[in-house]
């Protein structure tokens, strides 16, 4: 299905260096992807499904993706990587990494950064980012082969509660995949964008997007408002996120895990003496798949029969699971499924009565138990099942991507998201009773993303601040520590210049994608202008110069773009330094009093102690690793292909040699050739048999060339035997036509001259064609005579290709003249001589004739 793209038009007809953007809804179980563009299409997997299983794995040495990898998961549990989303940006000893270990048999290790690495059974280790990058690269490949422009940029969904670490990790994975992260969008916001695409909200409406995915569940409370511009009559829909609630480890996977435990316990109950099924990775992997199947059956039936042949120790497993039993086991989860809605409401300070609908999305929202948990707190009438639970996020992301890429004009939808966590700045300050640690929430939970803050601190020496998440989650708490250098000297200089209360101003931002960063740091102090104008100005300047920006309390944080603007324009006061430079020779003699420098940029040093992001070198190493896997696989494919081709060729040659003596092959070959081919063929067959499997592609190709060099001439004779006669006939036709032309052209010329016209052709031109005809005819006659003396098993002396070349040359020369446009025009009687020998003045004639005879080529 193509999405209806009434809102999506390519801006500007020609967008030359346009690389396509990919929108990816990356899930723990399934990944949905869409190409952003006029042909916005959901990508199909190899089974033509509209989603990809988020799995990468190896079957022996073959790397597999999606359902191919999933289908062999039970055979290669240690080499199949599913649910990697849990490990994104997770520390090795984190809650999420621990949870992952309960659902996967993959072997995990701590990386040098303290994140989770995965070890294949052959010992090779991959980072989570690399394995996810492989999946992104695979989707890129699918997108690229779906036609259209190659994909370069990616917009990807993330759960709203993702911390900087998880956001960084997925961005890094995208980069390692050879793509460019264009932006991140929270799941709920993406679904809201999709919802707003086809709707209008003349009066503001509040909706809750309830997204129960595989790995987590979240509720996003959004307010939709559509306003119409008085002047342009265009609609703008604003989506404001007002509240977020979530449960990080609650989703479809947890339900699968509980079901798998029911199945495992059921097996244990019957076969307790045989061993611990939970220690058998293959059996657990089979049960994991079975749990998923049983869950789907229980969504529509009250009971599900489970049956797995030879689950472990050659025992066939049979069980009956009822929905009641399943729900009983998950009873504790019901309130957890409802909680995010309550939390989102609480944060938004709205009540359920204000909510127009609760929009269900995500795979787990189909589970009756989950729906019931929601219905328990929200009346059934408010539940909206009118979005495509699977695709809403991918489609919304694609539209968002279209907005970001700016290559398309979209329906005007504006998104304002909020932060799910408190971000605080931590530093030490001099207090009355000695130094104390200050915690200052700069970007509060529920505050708008895409904002900047400026921190003014009274300092005399270099110092550092830390940016941290407040509270128990996320972990680690510390995002980054920034140290500011050059403070001592800058403040000293400002003080020297009589600056009033010099301070250090640090600008920090929370991006639209919820990344926190330290943007700029300067030492600043207002310098009193003691010139007469300055003094006069100062009298009526009001608060700006009199009221100090920083009070006795050391911190003053203000969210304001104007604050930032004034800071950055102040740093632009480097210009006085410029004019004070020696090049001032050009300045006029009148002395200009230079305003002293009031802003000094400081050196910012960042330290990521808790969980360092990947360095560019590390990312580039990973890219190289991935590329070498790709190259290796491509080489393997080429080798297999060369192998098959040579094998097929051997069979074909054998058939030819074994053919009937009156077959064309025998007819066009000599006894010697057949003997030689036979001997070589036997050699190559034996070689294939012995070392063919390990032979390099080059060797295989070389062997094939050996054989070809013997067979090729024979085939050529056969081909020429059939191709030469029609070619000769064509050439003879061309010669005939050429001769007719020459005769006619000469006749016409004579006539034209006698009528006093400029003749259409010069004598040279006609003679030229005539000569060409004579040459060609002579060549053909000579070759045909020789060829007729040859045997069929001798190489020809006349090749159809040469005949064709001659024919085409003759044709071109003749056609050029035939196509010439000509209108009768009286010859100018030359003043000097009347009787002109046409051949001697032909050049002059030709140049004169351009007015009426033009070659049309």
Ligand X SMILES: *[C@@H]1O[C@H](CO)[C@@H](O)[C@H](O)[C@H]1NC(C)=O
Interacting residue ranges for ligand X, rule: CB under 6 A: 230, 486, 489-490, 493, 600, 741, 744-745, 748, 767, 770-771, 774
Give dist(CA 509, CA 521) in Å, integer. 12
Give the C-alpha separation, 565 to 586, whole Å. 32
- Report, in Å, the least distance between residue 40 CB and ligand X: 33
DSSP 8-state symbol, 595? P
Nearest distance from residue 4's CB to ligand X, in Å?
A: 30
Q: What's the min distance (Å) between Cβ of 825 and ligand X?
A: 15
Max Cα–Cα distance, the chain, nearest Å: 126
| Residue 461 Cβ vs ligand X, minimum distance, rounded to whole Å | 14
Compute the least distance from the CB of residue 600 to ligand X, in Å. 5
Q: How far is the CB of 598 from ligand X (least distance, A)?
A: 11
CB of 497 or CB of 688, closer to ligand X: 497
Report the alpha-carbon distance of residue 571 to residue 157 in Å, rounded. Answer: 37
Measured from the CB atom, the residue of 217 and 599 that comes closer to ligand X is 599
Token code pair at residue 742:
């020459």
- Closest CB 458 distance from ligand X, rounded Å: 18
Distance CA 848, CA 857 (A): 19
SS (H, E, C) 115-144: EEEEECCCCCEEEHHHHHHHHHHHHHHHHH
User: Alpha-carbon distance 246 to 220, whole Å?
Assistant: 9
The nearer residue to ligand X, 359 or 487, going by C-beta atoms, is 487
Of 683 and 747, nearer to ligand X (C-beta) is: 747
Shortest Å distance, C-beta 745 to ligand X: 4
Across the chain, how many H-helices and E-strands are there? 23, 33
3-state secondary structure of 617: helix
Calpha distance 438→428 (Å, rounded): 6
The minimum distance between CB 737 and ligand X, in angstroms, equals 11
Nearest of 211, 213, 332, 311 to residue 266 by alpha carbon: 311
**Nearest distance from residue 767's CB to ligand X, in Å?**
5
234/536 with CB nearer ligand X: 234
C-beta of 489 vs 795, nearer to ligand X:
489
* Inter-residue contact 186 to 159 (CB < 8 Å): yes
Residue-by-residue DSSP string for 420-483: SS-EEEEEEEEETTEEEEEEEEEE-TTPBSSEEEEEEE--SS-EEEEEEE-SS-SSS-EEEEEE
Phi first, then psi, for residue 444 (nearest 5°) are -75, 155
Which positions ≥6 away from 440 have C-beta within 8 Å?
424, 425, 426, 455, 555, 557
CB-nearer residue toward ligand X: 201 or 600: 600
Residue 640 or 736 having the CB closest to ligand X: 736
Q: Residues 573-597, buried b or exposed e (16+ Cβ, 10 A)?
A: beeeeeeeeeeeeeeeeeeeeeebb
User: How many Å apart are CA 499 and CA 491, to the nearest integer?
Assistant: 9
Of 493 and 568, which has the nearer Cβ to ligand X? Answer: 493
> Are 52 and 30 contacting, i.e. CB atoms less than 8 angstroms apart?
yes
**Contact (Cβ atoms closer than 8 angstroms) between residue 169 and residue 88:** yes
Query: Least distance to ligand X from the beta carbon of 497, Å?
Result: 9
Nearest distance, CB of residue 774 and ligand X, angstroms: 4
Closer to ligand X by Cβ: residue 317 or 741:
741
Q: Please say which residue, 486 or 538, places its beta carbon nearer to ligand X.
A: 486
Helix axes 616-657, 671-691, angle to 10 degrees: 140
Measured from the CB atom, the residue of 486 and 664 that comes closer to ligand X is: 486
3-state secondary structure at position 605: strand
Q: Is 490 helix (H, G, I), strand (E, B) or coil?
A: helix
Q: How far is the CB of 489 from ligand X (least distance, A)?
A: 5
| Least separation in angstroms between CB 487 and ligand X | 10
Q: Which is nearer to ligand X, 621 or 767 (CB)?
A: 767
- The nearest distance, CB 580 to ligand X, in angstroms, is 11
Instruction: Please report how close the Cβ of residue 219 comes to ligand X at its closest, in angstroms.
Output: 34
Quote the least distance from Cβ 508 to ligand X, whole Å.
Answer: 22
> Cβ closer to ligand X: 307 or 854?
854
Q: Which is nearer to ligand X, 213 or 525 (CB)?
A: 525
Minimal distance in Å, beta carbon 853 to ligand X? 11
Neighbours of 643 (CB within 10 A): 16
What is the Cα–Cα distance from 619 to 242, expressed in whole angstroms? 36
Q: Which is nearer to ligand X, 36 or 766 (CB)?
A: 766
3-state helix, strand and coil shares in percent for the chain, rounded to the nearest 5: 45, 25, 30
Contact 50, 391 (CB under 8 A): yes
125 vs 750, beta carbon nearer ligand X: 750
Instruction: Enumerate long-range contacts of 372-381, CB under 8 Å, 24 or more apart.
Output: 372/334, 373/333, 373/334, 373/335, 373/337, 373/338, 374/210, 374/337, 374/338, 374/341, 376/334, 376/338, 377/338, 377/341, 377/342, 377/352, 378/208, 378/341, 378/352
CA atoms within 13 A on the CB side of 520: 20
- Cα of first residue to Cα of last residue in the chain, in angstroms, is 48
Kindly tell me which of 312 and 487 has the beta carbon lying closer to ligand X: 487
Cα dihedral 12/402/419/560 (nearest 10):
0
């Amino acid at each position: 299905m193509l999405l209806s793209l009434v809102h999506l038009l390519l801006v500007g007809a020609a967008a030359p260096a346009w690389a396509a953007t990919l929108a990816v809804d990356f899930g723990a179980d399934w990944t949905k992807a869409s190409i952003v563009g006029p042909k916005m299409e959901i990508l199909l997997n190899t089974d033509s499904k509209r989603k990809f299983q988020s799995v990468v794995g190896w079957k022996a040495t073959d790397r597999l993706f999606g359902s191919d990898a999933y289908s062999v998961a039970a055979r290669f549990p240690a080499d199949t990587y599913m649910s990697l989303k849990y490990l994104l940006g997770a520390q090795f000893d984190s809650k999420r990494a621990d949870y992952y270990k309960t659902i996967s048999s993959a072997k995990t290790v701590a990386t040098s950064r303290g994140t989770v690495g995965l070890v294949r059974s052959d010992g090779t280790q991959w980072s989570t980012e690399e394995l996810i990058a492989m999946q992104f690269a695979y989707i890129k490949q699918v997108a690229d082969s779906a036609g259209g422009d190659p994909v370069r940029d990616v917009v990807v969904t993330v759960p709203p509660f993702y911390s900087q670490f998880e956001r960084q990790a997925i961005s890094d994975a995208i980069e390692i995949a050879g793509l460019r992260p264009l932006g991140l969008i929270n799941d709920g916001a993406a679904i809201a964008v999709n919802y707003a695409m086809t709707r209008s909200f003349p009066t503001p409406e509040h909706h809750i997007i309830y997204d129960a995915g595989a790995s987590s569940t979240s509720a996003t409370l959004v307010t939709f408002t559509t306003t119409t511009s008085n002047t342009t009559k265009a609609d703008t829909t604003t989506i404001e996120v007002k509240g977020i609630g979530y449960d990080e480890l609650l989703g479809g996977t947890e339900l699968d895990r509980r079901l798998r435990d029911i199945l495992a316990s059921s097996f244990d109950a019957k076969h307790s003496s045989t061993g611990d099924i939970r220690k058998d990775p293959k059996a657990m992997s089979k049960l994991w798949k079975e749990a998923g199947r049983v869950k789907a059956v229980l969504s529509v039936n009250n009971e599900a029969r489970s049956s797995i042949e030879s689950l472990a120790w050659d025992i066939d497993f049979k069980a009956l699971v009822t929905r009641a039993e399943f729900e009983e086991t998950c009873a504790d989860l019901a309130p957890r499924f409802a909680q995010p809605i309550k939390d989102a409401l609480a944060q938004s300070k709205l009540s359920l009565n204000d909510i127009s609908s609760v929009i269900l999305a995500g795979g787990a929202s189909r589970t009756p138990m989950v729906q019931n948990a929601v219905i328990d707190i929200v009346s059934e009438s408010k539940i909206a099942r009118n979005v495509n639970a699977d695709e809403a996020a991918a489609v919304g992301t694609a539209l968002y991507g279209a907005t970001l890429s700016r290559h398309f004009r979209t329906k005007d939808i504006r998104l304002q998201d909020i932060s799910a966590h408190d971000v605080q700045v931590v530093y030490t300050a001099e207090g009355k009773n000695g130094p104390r640690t200050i915690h200052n929430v700069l970007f509060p939970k529920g505050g708008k993303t895409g904002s900047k803050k400026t921190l003014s601190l009274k300092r005399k020496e270099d110092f550092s601040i830390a940016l941290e998440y407040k509270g128990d989650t996320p972990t680690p708490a510390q995002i980054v520590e920034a140290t500011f250098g050059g403070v001592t000297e800058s403040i000293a200089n400002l003080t020297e210049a009589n600056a009033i209360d010099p301070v250090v101003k640090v600008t920090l931002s929370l991006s639209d994608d919820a990344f926190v960063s330290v943007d700029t740091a300067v030492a600043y102090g207002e310098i009193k202008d003691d010139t007469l104008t300055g003094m006069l100005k100062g009298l009526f300047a009001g608060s700006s110069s009199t009221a100090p920006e920083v009070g006795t309390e050391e911190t003053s944080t203000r969210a304001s773009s104007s604050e930032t603007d004034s800071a950055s324009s102040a740093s632009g006061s480097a210009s006085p330094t410029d004019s004070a430079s020696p090049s001032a020779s050009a300045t006029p003699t009148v002395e200009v009093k230079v305003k002293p420098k009031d802003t000094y940029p400081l050196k910012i040093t960042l330290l990521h102690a808790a969980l360092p992001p990947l360095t560019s070198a590390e990312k580039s190493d990973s890219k190289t690793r991935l590329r070498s896997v790709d190259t290796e696989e491509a080489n393997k494919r080429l080798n297999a292909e060369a192998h098959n081709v040579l094998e097929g060729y051997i069979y074909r040659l054998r058939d030819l040699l074994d053919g009937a003596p009156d077959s064309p092959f025998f007819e066009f070959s000599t006894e010697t050739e057949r003997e030689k081919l036979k001997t070589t063929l036997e050699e190559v067959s034996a070689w294939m048999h012995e070392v063919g499997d390990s032979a390099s592609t080059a060797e295989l190709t070389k062997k094939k060339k050996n054989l070809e060099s013997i067979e090729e001439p024979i085939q050529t004779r056969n081909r020429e035997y059939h191709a030469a006669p029609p070619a000769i006939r064509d050439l003879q036709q061309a010669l005939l036509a050429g001769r007719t032309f020459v005769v006619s052209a000469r006749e016409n010329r004579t006539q034209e001259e006698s009528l006093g016209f400029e003749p259409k052709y010069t004598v040279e031109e006609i003679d030229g064609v005539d000569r060409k005809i004579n040459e060609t005819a002579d060549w053909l006659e000579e070759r045909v005579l020789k060829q007729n003396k040859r045997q069929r098993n001798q190489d020809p002396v006349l090749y159809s290709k040469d005949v064709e070349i001659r024919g085409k040359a003759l044709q071109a020369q003749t056609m050029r003249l035939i196509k010439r446009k000509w209108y009768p025009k009286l010859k100018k009687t030359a003043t000097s001589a009347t009787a002109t020998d046409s051949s001697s003045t032909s050049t002059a004639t030709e140049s004169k004739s351009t007015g009426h005879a033009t070659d049309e080529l």
